[in-house]
C-alpha cells in the first residue's frame, strides 16, 4: 500500500489500526451478534445487541483479516452469524434494529441498519466468509424492494417491523451510508446499477440539498422530501437525528463523493468541486471555533455552534476526508490538516490505558458519556487508519484484497 505524503507516518496508521482491532476482540455476545463494549473493551450485556454495530464488526474484522491479522476472520464470522441468525426477521424479512436479552426488538426496520448489513455482507463476500454471498443477495433484495423510492431516487428511512406502515420521516444519514454500501456491493457483484443509484443519491444531497444552504446539509425531511430545518431543535444532541447541520457528515459526504468519482468510468464534473465545498464548509464551521481544538458536533443554518461536544467519529472522518482530497488533488494543505487532526486524536482521543478512542469529549476536551457511553464502535477510527493508505476506488475490503493478492505475486 502506498499513498501521497500525508504527514502521518504509515507505521503510525498501521500501529493504531492494530491497537483498535485488539481492543474490540471481546465483542462477541454469548447469544449472538456484537455486544456493546464499555470503556475498557468488555461486553456490556445489559444493553441490546444492535444490528448496525454487529454489521460494522463484520466489516472491520474482515478488514483486519485482509491485513493478515490472525483470528480476525473468526471474529468476523461470529459477527456474521448474528446477522444470519437472531438479528434477522425470518417472519417479515429484513433485519431488526436491535434485540435484547429477552428476545424483544423495537417495532422498526431502518434503512440505516440495512445499509450496514449490505456493507458487512459485501466485505464478508470479499473475504470468502461462509454465508456472506447469500446474505448479500438477500440484503440487497429486501433493501431494494422495501426501502428504495424510485420516484425520489432516494431511500426511505424506516418501516414498522412487518413492513405494513412506512414512517413519514425521510433522512439523509441512511442515504449517506447507503452510498458507501452501494459502492461496496457494486465492487463485489459487478452490477453497475448500484453505482448509478449511488450517484443519483449523491447528486440530490450535494446539489439540491447542500449547495442551496451554503453547503450545510439538511438531513431531515418529510415524506415529500421537503426539508424540516427545525427538526429536533429540542433534542440537539440526538445520536442519529440532531438538530441543524452535522459537521461530521459534511466531511463524510466529501470523502464519499471522491470514492464515487473514482469508481465511475465517466464521472460528472461536479463531484470534485462539491467535495471540496462540503469539506471547506465543515472545517470553517466546525474546527476549533470556540477557543479549543476539536470539531464541534452541530451548527445552526448560519453556522453558529449548537452542540459543542467533540465526537470521535467526526475527527476520524476529517482525517479520512483530508486524505482522500490529498490523493485526488495533491494539495499539501490537506496533508497539513490531516496531520493536525491526527495529532489532536493522539492527544485527546487515544485511550492509552484501555485502548480504542474516547467516543465523546466536552468543549474543553474532557471525556464525557452523555451521548456515546462506552466504546461500542471501531468503524470510523479503523477506516481513518486505512483510507489514507488505499486508492479511492475500489472500496476498502476489495482494495485490501487486491493489494494482498498483488503482494502474494510480487
Q: Which residues are catalytically annotated? A: 249, 380
Instruction: Determine how β-strand 36-37 pairs with β-strand 43-44.
Output: antiparallel
The torsion of the CA quartet 327, 332, 336, 339, rounded to 10 degrees, works out to 30
The answer to whether residues 226 and 274 touch, using CB atoms and an 8 Å cutoff, is: no
The answer to whether residues 167 and 157 touch, using CB atoms and an 8 Å cutoff, is: yes
Buried b (16+ CB within 10 A) or exposed e, 161-177: bebeebeeebbbbbbbb
Distance CA 360, CA 362 (A): 7
Residues with Cβ within 8 Å of residue 331, at least 6 apart in sequence: 325
The answer to whether residues 374 and 240 touch, using CB atoms and an 8 Å cutoff, is: no
Positions of E strands within 118-260: 148-149, 154-155, 158-159, 170-171, 220-221, 245-246
DSSP letter for each residue of 365-405: S-B--SSS-S----HHHHHHHHGGGS-SSS-HHHHHHHHHH
Q: Is 50 left (phi over 0), alpha (psi -120 to 50) or beta?
A: beta
The answer to whether residues 186 and 194 touch, using CB atoms and an 8 Å cutoff, is: yes
Cβ atoms < 10 Å from Cβ of 366? 11
Q: How far is CA 278 from the centre of its chain?
A: 17
The answer to whether residues 207 and 257 touch, using CB atoms and an 8 Å cutoff, is: no
Amino acid at each position: 500500500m502506498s499513498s501521497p505524503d500525508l504527514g502521518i507516518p504509515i507505521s503510525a496508521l498501521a500501529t493504531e489500526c492494530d491497537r483498535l482491532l485488539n481492543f474490540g476482540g471481546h465483542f462477541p455476545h454469548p447469544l449472538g451478534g456484537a455486544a456493546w463494549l464499555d470503556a475498557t473493551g468488555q461486553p456490556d450485556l445489559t444493553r441490546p445487541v444492535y444490528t448496525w454495530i454487529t454489521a460494522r464488526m463484520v466489516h472491520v474484522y474482515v478488514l483486519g483479516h485482509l491485513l493478515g491479522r490472525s483470528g480476525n476472520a473468526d471474529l468476523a464470522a461470529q459477527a456474521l452469524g448474528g446477522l444470519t441468525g437472531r438479528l434477522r426477521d425470518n417472519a417479515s424479512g429484513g433485519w431488526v434494529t436491535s434485540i435484547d436479552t429477552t428476545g424483544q426488538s423495537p417495532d422498526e426496520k431502518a434503512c440505516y441498519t440495512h445499509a450496514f448489513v449490505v456493507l458487512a455482507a459485501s466485505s464478508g463476500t470479499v473475504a470468502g466468509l461462509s454465508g456472506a454471498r447469500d446474505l448479500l443477495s438477500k440484503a440487497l433484495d429486501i433493501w431494494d424492494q422495501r426501502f428504495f423510492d424510485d420516484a425520489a431516487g432516494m431511500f426511505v428511512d424506516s418501516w414498522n417491523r412487518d413492513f405494513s406502515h412506512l414512517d413519514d420521516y425521510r433522512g439523509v444519514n441512511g442515504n449517506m451510508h447507503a452510498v458507501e454500501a452501494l459502492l461496496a456491493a457494486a465492487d463485489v457483484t459487478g452490477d453497475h446499477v448500484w453505482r448509478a443509484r449511488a450517484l443519483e443519491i449523491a447528486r440530490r444531497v450535494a446539489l439540491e440539498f447542500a449547495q442551496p444552504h451554503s453547503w450545510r446539509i439538511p438531513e431531515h425531511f418529510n415524506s415529500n422530501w421537503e426539508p424540516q430545518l427545525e427538526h429536533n431543535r429540542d433534542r440537539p444532541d440526538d445520536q442519529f437525528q440532531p438538530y441543524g447541520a452535522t459537521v461530521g457528515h459534511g466531511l463524510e459526504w466529501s470523502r464519499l463523493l471522491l470514492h464515487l468519482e473514482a469508481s465511475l468510468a465517466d464521472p460528472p464534473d461536479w463531484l470534485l468541486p462539491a467535495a471540496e465545498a462540503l469539506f471547506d464548509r465543515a472545517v470553517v464551521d466546525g474546527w476549533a471555533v470556540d477557543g479549543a481544538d476539536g470539531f464541534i458536533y452541530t451548527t445552526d443554518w448560519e453556522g453558529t455552534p449548537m452542540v459543542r461536544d467533540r465526537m470521535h467519529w467526526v475527527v476520524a472522518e476529517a482525517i479520512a476526508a483530508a486524505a482522500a482530497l490529498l490523493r485526488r488533488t495533491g494539495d499539501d494543505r490537506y496533508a497539513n490538516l490531516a496531520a493536525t487532526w491526527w495529532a489532536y486524536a493522539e492527544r485527546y482521543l487515544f485511550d492509552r490505558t484501555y485502548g480504542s478512542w474516547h467516543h465523546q469529549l466536552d468543549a474543553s476536551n474532557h471525556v464525557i458519556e452523555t451521548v456515546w457511553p462506552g466504546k461500542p464502535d471501531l468503524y470510523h477510527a479503523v477506516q481513518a487508519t486505512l483510507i489514507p493508505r488505499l486508492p479511492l476506488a475500489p472500496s476498502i475490503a476489495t482494495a485490501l484484497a487486491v493489494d494482498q493478492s498483488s503482494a502474494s505475486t510480487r
